[in-house]
Amino acid sequence: MKDKKSLSIVGANIKGNREINDFYPTPIYATDSLLKREVFGDNILEPACGDGAISKILEKQGCTVKSQDLIYRGYGFGNIDFLTFKPVEQYDAVITNPPYKYGLEFVKKALSCVKEGGKVAMLLKLVFLESATRYKFFIENPPSRIYVFSKRLKIYKKGIILKNSGLIAYAWFIWEKNNKKLPIVDWINDKEDIKQEKLI
C-alpha cells in the first residue's frame, strides 16, 4: 500500500485523493520547453491560471497575458468558468494546463477564442489521444504538433513537491485554428530541462 505522500502526484487513482478542482501547477521547465519550440503572439489567454505558473513565464517573455481561473489562487482573476466565458476579443493564443476531465471541452472553447491562424497549446496526458469520443474531434480538428515528454513530468497536487516519480505521460498538444493537416510528433528531451527538474 502506497503511503499518503506518494499519492500526492497527479494520476494517483485513489478515491477522494484527487484535488477537487484539479489544481496541479505546471512545472517551470514544462513551459520553458514549450517556448523553445513554439512562437506565440503577444496577446495570450491563460484560462486555468492557478497560481500563475504558466502566466509568469509568458509575461517574462514580454507577452500580455489575461490570466483567469474558476478558483482564485492569488493570481489573475477568479470565479471565471472558461466553458461559459464570453471573450470580448480574439486572442493570438490560448495556453494552459486544463483540468483533465474537461480537456476536450477546453480545447474546443479555446479554438473559438483565438484569431484565424491562432494557436492553442494544452498540456495534456498522452492518453488524451485515445477514446472514440475524441477521435471524431481529432479527425475534424487535428493538432498541428504534439510534443511528448520523454522523461515524465512531475506534477503535484497543489504544487507540494514530494520525493516520488512521475506516474503519467504528458505532452504539449498544439492546435492552429482551422488546420487540417495531420500532426507532427516530436519529443522533449532537453538536458537543460532535465537538469532544471532536479533543482526544483
Average pLDDT over residues 39-53: 96
Question: For residue 19, which amino acid is it?
Answer: E
All three cell numbers of 75: 493570481
pLDDT in tens, 111-168: 999 999 999 999 999 999 999 889 999 999 999 999 999 988 888 665 445 555 457 8
Residue-number span of the structural domain to which 115 is assigned: 5-199
CATH for 51? 3.40.50.150
Average pLDDT, the chain: 85
Secondary structure letter of residue 107 according to DSSP: H
Claim: this prediction has a pTM higher than 0.85: no
Most confident residue range from 4-18, 57-71, 155-169: 57-71
pLDDT score of 160: 44
| Residue in this structure with the C-alpha cell 497536487, named with its chain if needed | 157
pLDDT score of 9: 42
pLDDT in tens, 90-119: 999 999 999 989 999 999 999 999 999 999
Going by their DSSP bridges, the two strands 91-96 and 43-46 should be labelled as parallel
Q: 2: how many CB neighbours lie within 10 A of its CB?
A: 9
What stretch of H or E contains 196? helix 191-199
Confidence band (pLDDT; 50, 70, 90) for 186? very high
**Biggest distance spanned by C-alpha atoms of the chain:** 51
Q: Is residue 182 predicted with pLDDT exceeding 60? A: yes
**Would you say how long the chain is, in residues?**
200
Question: How remote is the C-alpha of 195 from its chain's centroid?
Answer: 21
pLDDT score of 50: 95
Question: For residue 170, which amino acid is it?
Answer: Y
Question: Total domain count for the chain?
Answer: 1
Contacts of 156 (CB under 8 A, 6+ apart): 8, 9, 10, 24, 25, 162
| Residue in this structure with the C-alpha cell 503577444, named with its chain if needed | 42
